[in-house]
Structure 1
């Protein structure tokens, strides 16, 4: 049984790669934070410990770093979509991504995909970040803006696949949905202020939830958990919800996306749309295009992961170098 405490710190560390890169925090500071984040007092499978540590600790030895593959984005097409794809060497896994600024003046979404094989075990990390990511990250995020007048925030949904075990962590309203025989199964629940448990937590801390176009913390923030958001930090925590799921032959797709998709595309529609495309990259782009066509006013970023249990993940747009 995986130790929840260590798993929590691992996914936190994985998420930090995306957020701290996006926020352009100094590399040396990021390395120290990541290194500290993954050193916790919990004893369990050492191979798993090493593999995930190497994925999130950028201060590792060069030999270790060479074992990590970063799936880097393609160039934008003429419409502004950034998309691409990747397939594992054994053909059991393929993924695609698509990211689009949409109607926003700036692009604040960010995604990250990493894969590694450690001691014969495949380890993959997929992340969607909306802002600029879990407790220690929140501290660093706030520290980076301590002497500024900014009060930025971010959400994140990250999935770490270790062999056939999938671990998902979520803060905010980015979301991860799994397909089981074509049926949509949410692996995260949006942190909205009007959720009964979230409202109770906020009010117990002395905060208020009020309607201002939508339910908001203090009438300001439309989500109840996030990184940053310094002025509301007493009520808006960065503690992630974590779920784990064993992946068997009934599971075929995984969709991670920012709220630019989920605001206008329900879970069931997202899975149904992704199922219509053979290539995960084409599926991710179809999701982004559909969200934009349905009137999404936000940045839109999607990752689609396809599980092919027979070992043939089909064609893919691009292999990593």
Structure 2
């Protein structure tokens, strides 16, 4: 069935792109940047390829394998014709190599078309489907804000995208809440998972791998911010499910909540300036916490850790925290959301709200949980977002719900019992 679906998609893609894209013509999907460093090329190319393929309904496993294959070919190509002249960037770091993004991504897309046409004739063996991690519901809205500055990524095909073949299943989910612009959130959503995949300690010490990945992503964004005059920042929240282990890593005040047997399991403590240890850290550095409608670092940012915000480093720290716990098999779901959700909804409310969202309603008699096997539509997350908005949230709202067992099973639990906020006996490893 997967091969038939893949072949059908490749036929449709060949009909749309029967030949290479012509020089000078518009690209079917726009690159994120005008100029890109060699280090940034990997993440930006994968993002561009996955975006193009997802918009055309590509099977996720095929899209991951195709993008990885084409990226490998691109990185082996002679990219010198795409180098920007050094004088093109007044703020460019010495010896930095920048590429003309549209030109190099045209090469990437033409190589993608070429590989897809070849696979249409001779389809390679597809990687096994990570079915356990396909049950995800996500929804995001701008709400009453002038701009949408949230970004998110659900990547059940983490291993397939990066060619990891150690026998350990992995899935990655992340939410980024930008401020002062969307650039930092976009950058983190594009590069954090790529950097994480390159960490040698990914399996043996996932917490250290995450912390290094966050720190390196922040350093990478510093280079882009310097050469492009960017001033934005972003919280970061990422979950990696690796075998029977769940690791959450975060900067700032977005939050992840795990629910087991209808009970909330505490995973993390969000970074806020008024948190006592954060306040002490900032004051020890010579900074201060002031109240201006909310608690702020040096009277500016309302988060004490973030990617970007380089005008307030090190007071606004780029060092992520991390916690890990073992999955016992009786977990219901993990919910990731930005502060636009949690400013209006308490973690203790999450189990009841999710159960309510799964139940049928008069306007939706099939219910939010009625979806094909292995998939959950956006309706469940949409109902949670709507609840937060009705409860008074005016901020951007992003909610991502990852079911760790079939959502229909949750409806057979003691849904009528009021959930109690509890802390797991399996204390997360800090």
Same fold (TM > 0.5):
yes
1:283 counterpart = 2:380 = yes
Name the CA distance, whole Å, in 1 between partners of 2:273 and 2:230: 23
1:209 counterpart = 2:250 = no
Q: Aligned in 2, Cα 1:161/1:142: closer, same or farther, shift over 3 Å?
A: same
Larger Rg: 2
Name the CA distance, whole Å, in 1 between partners of 2:291 and 2:303: 12
Paired residue for 2:391, among 294, 303, 306?
A: 294
Paired residue for 2:243, among 135, 141, 163?
A: 163
Q: Which is bigger in relative contact order (C-alpha 8 A, separation at least 6)?
A: 1
- The structure in which a higher percent of residues are helix is 2
1:122 counterpart = 2:169 = yes
- Residue 109 of structure 1, CA deviation: 0.5
> In 1, are the aligned partners of 2:130 and 2:169 still within 8 Å (CA)?
no
| Secondary structure, aligned partner of 2:279 | helix
| Secondary structure, aligned partner of 1:26 | strand
Deviates further, 23-32 or 92-101: 23-32
Q: What residue in structure 1 maps to residue 400 of structure 2?
A: 303
TM-score normalised by L of structure 1: 0.69
Q: What residue in structure 2 maps to residue 3 of structure 1?
A: none
Q: Aligned in 2, Cα 1:95/1:220: closer, same or farther, shift over 3 Å?
A: same
| Secondary structure, aligned partner of 2:402 | strand
Q: What residue in structure 1 maps to residue 342 of structure 2?
A: 262
| Secondary structure, aligned partner of 1:295 | coil
Name the CA distance, whole Å, in 1 between partners of 2:322 and 2:316: 17
1:194 counterpart = 2:280 = no
1:146 counterpart = 2:226 = yes
List gaps (5 residues or longer) in structure 2. Answer: 1-30, 45-64, 74-128, 160-164, 179-184, 189-213, 359-368, 371-375, 410-430
Per-residue CA deviation, residues 252-306 of structure 1 (Å, 9 max, x unaligned), is: 1110011110110111112321123125532211111111111211111111011
- Residue 165 of structure 1, CA deviation: 0.8
- Matched positions, count: 247
- The structure in which a higher percent of residues are strand is 1
| Secondary structure, aligned partner of 1:158 | strand
Name the CA distance, whole Å, in 1 between partners of 2:258 and 2:153: 18
Per-residue CA deviation, residues 146-204 of structure 1 (Å, 9 max, x unaligned), is: 14554210001100011121111010011100001111223221111111110111011
Paired residue for 1:26, among 36, 52, 56?
A: 36
- Residue 25 of structure 1, CA deviation: 7.1
Cα RMSD (Å)? 2.9
Q: Aligned in 2, Cα 1:291/1:24: closer, same or farther, shift over 3 Å?
A: farther
- Residue 121 of structure 1, CA deviation: 3.1
> In 2, are the aligned partners of 1:92 and 1:313 still within 8 Å (CA)?
no
